A and B are shown apart, each in its own frame.
Chain A
Amino acid sequence: ILNVEQSPQSLHVQEGDSTNFTCSFPSSNFYALHWYRWETAKSPEALFVMTLNGDEKKKGRISATLNTKEGYSYLYIKGSQPEDSATYLCASLRTASKLTFGTGTRLQVTL
């Protein structure tokens, strides 16, 4: 993998559903993997910065895992709520300072 790729592109779930997204990134020269949440008409805000293989991070109902050897990270949302509706971006830090983003997964949670 040469670029940062995210799947799916978009997702529509019902309130209370749990869901997960995938971020694939180049595993060579790995420094860190970032996850951001981007609400419409706002700026992206960081959720997690992950650096170690096997890392797991959690913030409320949202958690993430990291596999640096195979170059993927999963973001999980447990019990989705309408306020979780946003675009979720991941970004790969491969050389010091150069942060490259994927195209994002757009999540819509309906009642």
Chain B
Amino acid sequence: NAGVTQTPKFRVLKTGQSMTLLCAQDMNHEYMYWYRQDPGMGLRLIHYSVGEGTTAKGEVPDGYNVSRLKKQNFLLGLESAAPSQTSVYFCASSYLGPGTQINTEAFFGQGTRLTVV
């Protein structure tokens, strides 16, 4: 059972380049999240998805786009990378607890370290 897998683990981009980060989960979870982690800032929510085909903005969505074409995958795209997007990106997933309609704990991927030069 792989859980939540992020691809790639590391990447260096030049300013203006584009890239897509892939998050895949094999737990059949409905909810998926993209966070960025910066020193002193904690985990900040970029975008999230409550199910296949749906996405929503989080706290810091500017400069990012997402897609959830398949339930198990949540893609984070950077169309034109900027140095301010240098960060560690974490994907997470969760599901609704039976009978509670409240999200269970989030399960995290191992992170993607992105550097934009």
Contact = CB atoms under 8 A, between A and B. Distances in A.
The range of chain A's interface size is: 20 to 34
B98 interface: no
Chain B interface main SS type: strand
Chain A interface main SS type: strand
A42 B101 CA distance: 29
Interface residues of B, number: 29
Interface stretch (B14-22, B64-72, B73-81, B105-113): B105-113
Contact of B50 (A31, A51, A91, A97): A97
A29 interface: no
Given A43-B108, A43-B111, A44-B108, A100 B59 contact: yes
19 contacts: A31-B103, A43-B90, A43-B108, A43-B110, A44-B106, A45-B108, A46-B105, A46-B106, A49-B105, A51-B102, A97-B48, A98-B45, A98-B48, A98-B58, A99-B33, A99-B106, A100-B59, A101-B42, A104-B42
Interface of B: 31, 33, 35, 40-45, 48, 50, 56, 58-59, 90, 92, 94, 100-111
